Amino acid sequence: MPLKYPSSWRFSRSKDVIISDPAISEFFDLVGKIAAQGDRWWFFERFKGFFASAAGSTSYRSSSESWAETDLLAFMRQLATNPPLFLEAFYDACQSFQNTQYDTPDVELINDICREYQIGYQIAPPELRKLDIAQEVISIPNTPSTFSESSVQLLQESLNRAEQLLSEKRPREAVQEMLWILESISTVFKGIPLASGTIKGKYFNEITKELRKTHQGTTLERVLDWASQLHGYLSTPTGGGVRHGIDLTDGKPISLSDGRLFCNLIRSYIVFLLSEHERLIDSGAGDA
C-alpha cells in the first residue's frame, strides 16, 4: 500500500532536512544486502526503477552491474533534498518483494536510520509522518510472542497516535496516550507467579507495588520506582495535570518539549517492562 502524506511534500526541496551522504550510504548498503540473495544486477535495476520514477525520470537498463549500482546511487542522491520521495521510493521498492522468497528491511530499521541521521520523518504504515528535528523517538521493539495479535495491534495504534499528537503539537494528549499504554502494559504481569505468590493487583499502582516488593535491589525495582513517580506526577492537578485535570490556579500546562521528554521516558520504561515480562515468562517467573 502506497504511503500517505500531504501532496505538497512531493514538490518541496528542503535546505534544513536532507538525506546526508552517510545516510544514503546506509540505505545503499541495505540494497546491497538485499541483492546478495540473488542476481545483484536485477536487484539494483529494480530499486533504480523506483528511485527514477520518484525523481520523475525514466529508468533504462544499465550496461553492466557496476553501472546499475552507480546509476541507482545517482538517483538516490538526486532525491536527497526531498526525504519524503526518497523514503517512499525505498519503502515501495522493499514492499514490492512482499510474498516473495526475498527478505527486505522492516519499517523499524528504516526508521532507525531516519532517527540516527535526523532525517525528520518516520514511516508509520500507511502514513509517512514529519517529525520535529529536535524530536527523538525511542523505538519500541517487537512485542513478546506472549501477546495476542489484537493486543499488539492495539498497542501499535496507540503508539502511532501518541507520535501523531506530538507532531501536531498536542503534548498533553500525547502524554495521556503514553500513560494509557504504560498502565495497559502493566496488566500483562497479572497472574505471573513470583517467589512470594502470584501478582493479584488489577491497577498500575497495585501491580508495580507487588513487583517492586519481590524484586528488591534489582533494576526492575528501580525502573518501576521511576515509572511510578512519573505516573504520580503526571496524574496530579499541580503536576502534569494529565489524568485528573489541571489546577487552574497553580497548575502549569505541559509544553511541547515537556511532552517529548515525558513520552520518551515512558517509552523507555515500556521497552524495559516488555523485556522483563518476556524474561519472567521464559524463566517461569520463579527466579525473583
Q: Is the pLDDT of residue 145 over 70?
A: no
Interacting residues of 192 by C-beta distance below 8 A, sequence separation 6+: 198, 199, 277, 280, 281, 285
Whether cis (ω within 30° of 0) applies to the bond prior to 126 is: yes
- Distance, in Å, from the CA atom of 234 to the CA atom of 242, rounded to the nearest integer, reads 6
Could you give the C-alpha distances from 118 to 28, 42, 61, 88, 150, in angstroms and in order? 17, 31, 33, 17, 32
pTM for this entry: 0.52
Judged by average pLDDT, the poorest of 62-76, 156-170, 191-205 is 191-205
Q: Quote the strand ranges of the chain, DSSP E.
A: 121-124, 127-130, 193-194, 197-198
The tens digit of pLDDT for each residue in 232-258 reads 888 888 777 777 777 777 767 888 888
Q: pLDDT exceeding 90 applies to what percent of the chain?
A: 37
Grid cell for residue 144? 513478546
Grid cell for residue 210? 507487588
Instruction: Specify the 3-state DSSP secondary structure of 220.
Output: helix
Grid cell for residue 173? 494528549
In sequence order, what are the beta bridge partners of 121?
130
pLDDT at 256: 82
Centre a 10 Å sphere on the Cβ of residue 115 and count the other Cβ atoms it contains.
17
How would DSSP label each residue in 20-51?
A: -HHHHHHHHHHHHHHHTTS-HHHHHHHHHHHH
